[in-house]
Chain A
Amino acid sequence: MSSSRKQAFISPKIDQFLLYFYQAYQFLGKFFWELVRGPFEFQEIVKQCYQIGYKSLPLISLTGFITGMVFTKQSRPSLLEFGATSWLPSLVSIAIVRALAPLITSLISAGRVGSSIGAELGSMRVTEQIDAMEVSAVNPFKFLVVTRVVASTICIPILSFYCAIVGLMGSFLDVTLNEKTNIQAFIQEAFEQITFLDIGSALVKAVAYGFTIGTVGCYQGYYAQKGTQGVGRAANTSVVLSMFLIFLEEVAIVQVTNWFR
């Protein structure tokens, strides 16, 4: 047999880049195929929702509350110049619902959940646990990948909604301490400017971000190579790539939403 090295199609780096996209495309295709055919791992999805959703609550609570409060504090001096501090609840609620809640939730989750999925599956790959599932006639893709991506896609929108509520609570605390506004007036002001389009676009964003975090983490972990170094790389790349894609999606969804506004 010949030992000659295979010739690059375009150049080695471009070939590798294109191959990466092709593998990602295959991975997504496999995900949707496995998603719709049984048997379904409902119990594992619930377990993953607990890991991804419930265990993220403390961090999301803290970040959401502080974001709402700080954003209110930072916005007040500018509005004060125009004597428009009564607009604070509307301003903050628009910012939180349209952009901050889904973005903050997804960025935190990319760090906490994406790295965890990447490292867990990567570790399972290099210690042959995924091979062990395969030879015992269990579909590891369905058990490990589909469940995590579904859980992430379900949980990130719920966490985003929760983050928005907590953020508004933080904002209310600051507003009520400074402007002596009561809760009814704050709620009325806050939700007056919020439209179904805002809520709908926030929901679409959160679903897209959740799906991105799940698929990127699972892809990096599932195909991890080269031992413990590969596990570290899978965890790291999961976070970096998820964040990069989340920002791209943010720009794209905002652009599309603005066409309907």
Chain B
Amino acid sequence: MDTAEGKATSSPNEKVISIEGLYKSFGDLHVLKGVDLDVYKGETVVVLGRSGTGKSVLIKIISRLLNADRGSVKVLGQEVGDLNEKELRNLRLKIGFSFQNSALYDSMTVGGNLEFPLVRNVKNLSRGEINKAVEEVLDSVGLLQTINQMPAELSGGQRKRIGIARTLIMNPEIMLYDEPTAGLDPTTCIEINELINEVKERYHTTSILITHDLTCAKMTGDRLAILLDGTFVSEGSFEHVFSNQDERIKSFYDYNFIK
């Protein structure tokens, strides 16, 4: 694999996520074929790749929504596949997962969505404390006015922001973004990219971001990794990855009109 250092790794020696020899298949479809990736504290790694190459599968394995067939996935020093229920619950409290379609609970208001993980994971909070936490997080994504609205009443960009806010209320150490700009107009995409950078600065998160969007990758990523045919074929800074002359990678950025 072609590798080079990215532009920023605040603590290069502190691995937050470490993946080695990861394999995952669905029946006869082999999606991940020996993936290796290290993510260091405070950095944002953008995983780029064509549809169906297993990018979302990768972050679902990190949060153990899916189990790996083979290989090692360590998050904050813990082997994810070996965790018991209680350990997994404690680890998940440190991980924020922003879903591609936001996955807001459509039977609850925006406020209800935000307080849902909080009231179930933090004991003995008063109503006042819950409301304050919800309002603070909503304010941080600029959508305080939507607190009593239902998810169906929100635009795509607002839903994405609320989805991110719902993860932030638990103050996560790690953020996993699955296609955060998919289906949004260019202006909203830029707003979401800025929000991702704000989240990183304000909450000091380590992130993995899955996207096809090269603008998003350039704006948010400290390091890029290209996932093709089940493995990472190139890894490093934006400039390094896109100076690669491998035809498979060239076709990817040619397609995105950033030659």
Residues of chain A touching chain B, judged by Cβ–Cβ distance below 8 Å, are: 1, 3, 5, 39, 120, 124, 127-129, 131-138
Contacts and interface: CB of A to CB of B under 8 A. Distances in A.
A129 B104 contact: yes
A137 B93 contact: yes
A134 B116 CA distance: 12
Given A1-B30, A138-B117, A138-B120, A128 B166 contact: no
Interface of B: 23, 25, 27-28, 30, 33, 60, 63, 65, 89-90, 92-93, 95, 97, 99-101, 103-107, 116-117, 120-121, 166-167, 170
A132 B121 contact: no
Contacts of A137: 89-90, 92-93, 117, 120-121, 170
Nearest to A123: B106
A136 B117 contact: yes
Contact of B92 (A127, A129, A135): A135
A217 B16 CA distance: 41
Contacts of A129: 103-106
A127 B167 contact: no
Contacts, number: 62
Residue from A120, A127, A133, A137 having most chain B Cβ neighbours under 10 A: A137
Contacts of B25: 1
A134 to B, nearest CB: 6
A131 B77 CA distance: 23
A136 B105 CA distance: 12
A135 B95 contact: yes
A128 B103 contact: yes
Contacts of A120: 107
6 contacts: A1-B30, A128-B100, A132-B97, A134-B92, A137-B121, A138-B121
Contacts of A3: 28, 30
Contact of A136 (B100, B106, B166): B166
Given A1-B23, A3-B28, A131 B103 contact: yes
A132 B106 CA distance: 12
Contacts of B104: 129, 132
